[in-house]
Amino acid sequence: MSATPAPQPAPTQAQLEAVLQAALYLLGARQDRMLTIEEWTDLARAVSDCQGRKTADYLTEHDLEDIAERYALEWDEATDGVLPMLDDE
């Protein structure tokens, strides 16, 4: 038996606009046959904000490792979630 998720409040206009903008970026990236980690993260942030979850919940472990290791993205652990700890080799 699975628990029923708690109902989420209706998204705000700003949240819906963020999802729309991220979706437009995603569509444009697909048309160009490319998608940056920044665009993918923007989409994950917009969706997670509407769903009351963390950005990291919508990214793969590989994406999170890339963000931690290679990309200078603004990342707020309080809203985005925890990035993996990388071993210094």
Does residue 24 fall inside a structural domain? yes
62 lies in which domain range?
Answer: 13-76
Does residue 18 fall inside a structural domain? yes
Does residue 87 fall inside a structural domain? no
- Please tell me the total count of domains within the chain: 1
- What is the DSSP track for 27-89? HHHHHTT---HHHHHHHHHHHHHHHT--GGGGS-HHHHHHHHHT------HHHH-PPPPPPP-
Does residue 5 fall inside a structural domain? no
State the pLDDT at residue 10: 85
pLDDT at 1 over 60: no
2-45 tens-digit pLDDT: 677 677 788 889 999 988 888 888 878 877 777 788 888 988 99
Does residue 38 fall inside a structural domain? yes
47-81 tens-digit pLDDT: 888 888 999 999 989 889 989 988 888 999 999 99
State the pLDDT at residue 87: 67
Question: pTM surpassing 0.75?
Answer: no
